[in-house]
Chains A and B, each alone.
Chain A
Amino acid sequence: MASAAIYSLFIINKSGGLIYYKDYGSAGRTDTNDSLRLASLWHSMHAISQQLSPTPGCAGIDLLQADNFDLHCFQSLTGTKFFAVCETGAQNIEVLLKVIYELYTDFVLKNPFYEMEMPIRCELFDLNLAQVIQKDRVALLGR
Chain B
Amino acid sequence: MPPPTAPKSGDALFASVERVNAELFTLTYGAIVRQLLTDLEEVEEVNKQLDQMGYNIGTRLVDEFLAKSNVSRCADFKETADVIAKLGFKMFLGVTATVTNWDAEGTSCSFVLEDNPLVDFVELPDTCQGLQYCNVLSGVIRGALEMVSMKTEVTWVRDMLRGDDAYEMRVKLTKQVPEEYPYKDDD
Q: Does B73 contact A (CB under 8 A)?
A: yes
Please report whether the interface of chain B is mostly helix, strand, loop or mixed according to DSSP. Answer: helix
Please report whether the interface of chain A is mostly helix, strand, loop or mixed according to DSSP. Answer: helix
Beta-carbon nearest neighbor of B180 in chain A: A50
When the two chains form the complex, which single residue of B1, B61, B66, B181 contacts A47, counting CB atoms closer than 8 Å?
B181
When the two chains form the complex, which single residue of A47, A95, A105, A116 contacts B64, counting CB atoms closer than 8 Å?
A105
Indicate if the CB atoms of A109 and B181 lie closer than 8 Å.
no
Q: Considering the chains assembled together, what is the distance between the CA atoms of A116 and B56 in angstroms? A: 10
When the two chains form the complex, which single residue of B2, B63, B179 contacts A109, counting CB atoms closer than 8 Å?
B63
When the two chains form the complex, which single residue of A47, A101, A116 contacts B67, counting CB atoms closer than 8 Å?
A101
Mask: chain B, 75-103; 1 = CB below 8 Å from A; 0 = not: 00000000000000000000000000000
Indicate if the CB atoms of A62 and B63 lie closer than 8 Å.
no
A103 CB to closest chain B CB (Å) equals 9
Question: Which of chain A's residues 79-119 have a Cβ closer than 8 Å to chain B?
Answer: 79-80, 94-95, 98, 101-102, 104-106, 109-110, 116
Q: Considering the chains assembled together, what is the distance between the CA atoms of A110 and B148 in angstroms? A: 18
Indicate if the CB atoms of B148 and A51 lie closer than 8 Å.
no
Q: Does B147 contact A (CB under 8 A)?
A: yes
Indicate if the CB atoms of A109 and B64 lie closer than 8 Å.
yes
Count of residues in B whose CB is under 8 Å from the partner chain:
17
Q: Considering the chains assembled together, what is the distance between the CA atoms of A106 and B63 in angstroms? A: 9
Q: Considering the chains assembled together, what is the distance between the CA atoms of A109 and B61 in angstroms? A: 8
Question: Which of chain B's residues 27-74 have a Cβ closer than 8 Å to chain A?
Answer: 59-64, 66-68, 73
When the two chains form the complex, which single residue of A50, A101, A110 contacts B181, counting CB atoms closer than 8 Å?
A50
Beta-carbon nearest neighbor of A43 in chain B: B181
- How many A residues are at the interface, by size bracket? 20 to 34
Q: Does A77 contact B (CB under 8 A)?
A: yes
Give chain A residues whose Cβ lies under 8 Å from the Cβ of B62: 78
B61 CB to closest chain A CB (Å) equals 8
A62 CB to closest chain B CB (Å) equals 7
Indicate if the CB atoms of B1 and A78 lie closer than 8 Å.
no
Q: Considering the chains assembled together, what is the distance between the CA atoms of A78 and B59 in angstroms? A: 9
Q: Does A76 contact B (CB under 8 A)?
A: yes
Q: Considering the chains assembled together, what is the distance between the CA atoms of A128 and B148 in angstroms? A: 27
Indicate if the CB atoms of A77 and B73 lie closer than 8 Å.
yes
Q: Considering the chains assembled together, what is the distance between the CA atoms of A87 and B62 in angstroms? A: 32
Give chain A residues whose Cβ lies under 8 Å from the Cβ of B1: 62, 94
Mask: chain B, 173-185; 1 = CB below 8 Å from A; 0 = not: 0000001110000
Q: Considering the chains assembled together, what is the distance between the CA atoms of A94 and B64 in angstroms? A: 17
Q: Considering the chains assembled together, what is the distance between the CA atoms of A123 and B63 in angstroms? A: 20
Give chain A residues whose Cβ lies under 8 Å from the Cβ of B148: 77-78
Give chain A residues whose Cβ lies under 8 Å from the Cβ of B180: 50-51
Indicate if the CB atoms of B66 and A77 lie closer than 8 Å.
yes
Give chain B residues whose Cβ lies under 8 Å from the Cβ of A105: 60, 63-64, 67-68
Interface residues of B (CB under 8 A from A): 1-2, 59-64, 66-68, 73, 147-148, 179-181
Interface residues of A (CB under 8 A from B): 47-48, 50-51, 62, 76-80, 94-95, 98, 101-102, 104-106, 109-110, 116
